[in-house]
Copies of this chain bind each other. A is one copy, B any other.
Amino acid sequence: MGEPGPEPAARGRELAEGALAGDRRATARLLTAIENRTPVAEAALRILYPQAGQAHIVGITGPPGSGKSTLVSALIANVREAGRPVAVIAVDPSSPITGGALLGDRVRMQAHAGDRDVFIRSMAARGHAGGLAAATGAAAAVLDACGFDLILIETVGTGQSEVEVAAAADTTVVLEAPEMGDEVQAIKAGLLEVADIVVVNKGDRPGAQRTAAQLRAMLVAIAPRPGDGDERPRPKRPEVLLTTASTSVGVPELLAVLDRHRPTDHDSGSAAARLARAEAQVWAIAGDRVRAQLHDDRHREATEATLRAVADHELDPYAAADRLLGDVQ
């Protein structure tokens, strides 16, 4: 099934080699190709993927208003003081259609625009569900191969896709702000389940200590019990830290904790995260392959008729799936 043709293969190789040589425009173009799931992206990733696997991939997620971008900015500044390169993938859930960016965030990040060892990129998910986790994983692999040893993936932590993205990082930081409203409180429970580190940001606000205490209590309550279906081994309960990202208070401490969470080869937790990341990519690609085959010249007409029959309730979706898979198997 469809490997890239000779032209996309050549272009993919060119971009991959450029990216590896430190050409940031080549890297940026590659990430665009990944977002658009083009054959060029496939060709390049086939070259780069085997060279990745060294970076620490950190998911940073939390509800709107918890200060994710400010914290990411503070983390970048602290990491750069130590001379380490750092990349940020800001996952933008706002627009499946135009890929519109969270403009305010992007503007704040331009503080680092002159520094070539800081790479910041926002990504939108195009196409079918599952694309977001796959595209993010592929983008992280590219940046990893390019030598960024810390890769921050920033997501708004309120949706299913975002939880999946967060869960596929080596280490997941969940941000909260003190005293948020009821609905946001409720959303926390789901996010806390994927947290390796919980950060109460805006730590200088009244109630920050109380929020941290509440979160610690919640973390005890939701600690995974054997056999409850959570197969991700977690060595210990998440730490709860306080930061005030706007003034960098607590940020060096957060970085130190992150470094302790850096995956090692014999760490079953990060092995599970890497497997989840690999699976998300492989299943998304496999789905793309099958869909592409079902829409090629030989199958398109039959596929569209089958899907229309389901839309018209003349055929149930299980029978339709079996029929379509029968066509290509």
Copy number of this protein in the oligomer? 2
> Which residue from B94, B96, B183, B313 sits with its C-beta under 8 Å from A187?
B94
Contact A316 B160 (CB under 8 A): no
Q: A159-B162, A307-B282 are in contact. Are A182 and B93 (CB under 8 A)?
A: no
Question: How many residues of A are in contact with the other chain, CB < 8 A?
Answer: 96
One digit per residue, 1 when the CB lies within 8 angstroms of any chain B CB and 0 when it does not, for chain A 42-79 equals: 10011001111100000000011100000000000000
Rounded to whole angstroms, the CA-CA distance of A193 and B65 in the bound complex is 23
Chain B residue nearest in CB terms to A132: B160
One digit per residue, 1 when the CB lies within 8 angstroms of any chain B CB and 0 when it does not, for chain A 259-281 equals: 00000000000010011011111
A213 within 8 A of B: no
One digit per residue, 1 when the CB lies within 8 angstroms of any chain B CB and 0 when it does not, for chain A 293-326 equals: 0000000000000111011111111111110111
Contact A324 B193 (CB under 8 A): no
Find residues 163-190 in chain A having any chain B CB closer than 8 Å to their own CB: 163-164, 167, 181-184, 186-190
Question: What residues of B have a CB within 8 angstroms of the CB of A306 in the complex?
Answer: 282
Given contacts A98-B189, A130-B130, A282-B310, could you give 5 more A-B pairs where the C-beta distance is less than 8 Å?
A: A49-B317, A97-B190, A278-B310, A278-B320, A285-B321
A: residues with CB less than 8 A from B are 1, 3, 42, 45-46, 49-53, 63-65, 93-98, 100-105, 125, 128-133, 138, 141, 156, 158-164, 167, 181-184, 186-191, 193-194, 222, 228-230, 271, 274-275, 277-283, 285-287, 289-291, 306-308, 310-322, 324-326, 328-329
